[in-house]
């Protein structure tokens, strides 16, 4: 898939924000731990990815009702849905000076069109050796498998386009406002499960 970037400027994908707050003390500490563990940038990225995928619990898998949004909240609670985990991975990558953005897919909520659709969040990151690569830190379980692979994309879900699922090619510099609104307005993750946007709004399409 040819990715469509919100901005051609790599610096725009290194921004520290209230959500992707990699300058916050706990995130900065984790970034330094990763740097100290191994010298290669690609190996550091793999370590950050594996940590976010495996050590941060996916809220829906663990029936955890806490809604976390910012990267520091996700790290402190060690839990989050796909969007939240993508926020944390972006913060860790940006702290490592790896330009990182946000991507989305439209997936069936419970495996059938009748169950409805919702956006699924993941990341795209830029490496000088390969360019932009999508990575999905959702967390593995039965039927869901993602890996850190810069040469061959391995995302969490195998989409069924014939049933209405969709793979969006857009790479955003910040999380979608519709996603953040759903997270902010939900009292717990059981409510957020149904509040998630069903698709990317026309006003959010990149051209």
Domain annotation for the chain: domains and CATH numbers: 4-204 (3.10.620.30)
Is 155 in contact with 146 (CB distance < 8 Å)? yes
* Owner of token pair 């290669």: 40
Is 189 in contact with 65 (CB distance < 8 Å)? yes
pLDDT of 40 reads 96
Predicted TM-score of the model (pTM)? 0.97
pLDDT of 99 reads 98
Cα 139 to its chain centre, rounded Å, is 11
d(CA 161, CA 173): 26
Is 71 in contact with 88 (CB distance < 8 Å)? yes
Return the SS3 of 169: coil
Per-run averaged pLDDT (10 residues), the chain, 207 residues: 97 98 98 97 98 97 96 98 98 98 97 95 97 97 93 95 97 98 97 97 91
pLDDT of 207 reads 85
d(CA 54, CA 145): 11
């Amino acid at each position: 898939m040819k990715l469509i970037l919100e901005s051609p400027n790599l610096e725009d994908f290194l921004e520290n924000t209230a959500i992707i707050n990699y300058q916050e003390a706990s995130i900065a500490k984790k970034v330094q731990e990763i740097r100290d563990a191994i010298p290669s940038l690609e190996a550091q990225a793999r370590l950050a990815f594996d940590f976010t995928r495996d050590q941060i619990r996916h809220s829906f898998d663990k029936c955890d009702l806490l809604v976390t949004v910012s990267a520091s909240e996700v790290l402190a609670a060690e839990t989050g849905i796909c969007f939240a985990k993508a926020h944390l991975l972006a913060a860790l990558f940006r702290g490592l000076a790896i330009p990182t953005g946000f991507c989305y897919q439209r997936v069936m909520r419970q495996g059938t069109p009748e169950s409805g659709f919702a956006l699924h969040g993941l990341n795209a990151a830029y490496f000088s050796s390969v360019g932009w690569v999508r990575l999905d830190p959702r967390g593995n379980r039965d039927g869901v498998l993602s890996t850190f692979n810069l040469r061959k994309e391995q995302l969490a879900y195998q989409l069924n386009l014939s049933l209405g699922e969709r793979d969006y090619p857009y790479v955003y510099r910040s999380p979608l406002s519709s996603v953040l609104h759903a997270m902010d307005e939900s009292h717990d993750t059981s409510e957020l499960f149904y509040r998630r946007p069903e698709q990317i709004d026309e006003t959010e399409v990149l051209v």
